[in-house]
Amino acid sequence: MADLTVDAVGPDFASVLFALHRDSFDHPWSEAELTSLMQTGALTLLAAAGEVPVGFIMVRTVLDEAEILTLAVSPARRGCGFGRKLLEAGAESLARSGVVRLSLEVAQDNPAARALYKTSGFEQVGRRKAYYSRPDGDVDALVMQRTLMPGA
């Protein structure tokens, strides 16, 4: 992972982010949706191994709280620590800007993502029943949260 870089990107990277999102999710967001989120201020960090984009995280901040909107890692690169690197880079950036709490929603049927978040200090604080649609039935979203600033 020595050649891994994580950099903030803007709307001019929407096509790269779309390709990663499309490969990572059954119902990907469109390039226009990703562009719109970046134009309205969502922090977007892109990870690249050398020159190859491998994943990204997108986070929306309101006052001293932030929400991970999406975290996508190329399926071929999963299990290599890229998701954790993106998560920690995002958390560090947010903490420096005064964010106290970071939250997210994760599908109950996504054990790899749930394990990543749990081992990264997130705790389940809620549940959204039947939040995600699947061909074989709806799946709950687990709401998870992590405190970024000690004593908050």
- Tens of pLDDT, residue by residue over 56-92, are 999 999 999 999 999 999 988 887 789 999 999 999 9
Q: Which CATH class is domain 4-147?
A: alpha beta
Residue 137: which region, alpha, beta or left (left: phi > 0; alpha: psi -120 to 50)?
left
- In this prediction, residue 150 carries a pLDDT of 61
What distance in Å separates the CA atoms of residue 138 and residue 152, rounded to the nearest whole number?
Answer: 35
| pLDDT, tens digit (0-9, with 9 covering 90-100), for 101-137 | 999 999 999 999 999 999 999 999 999 999 988 888 9
Q: What is the pLDDT of residues 3-53, one digit of tens each?
A: 889 999 999 999 999 999 999 988 899 999 999 999 999 999 999 998 899
Boundaries of every domain in the chain: 4-147
**What's this model's pTM, rounded to 2 decimal places?**
0.91
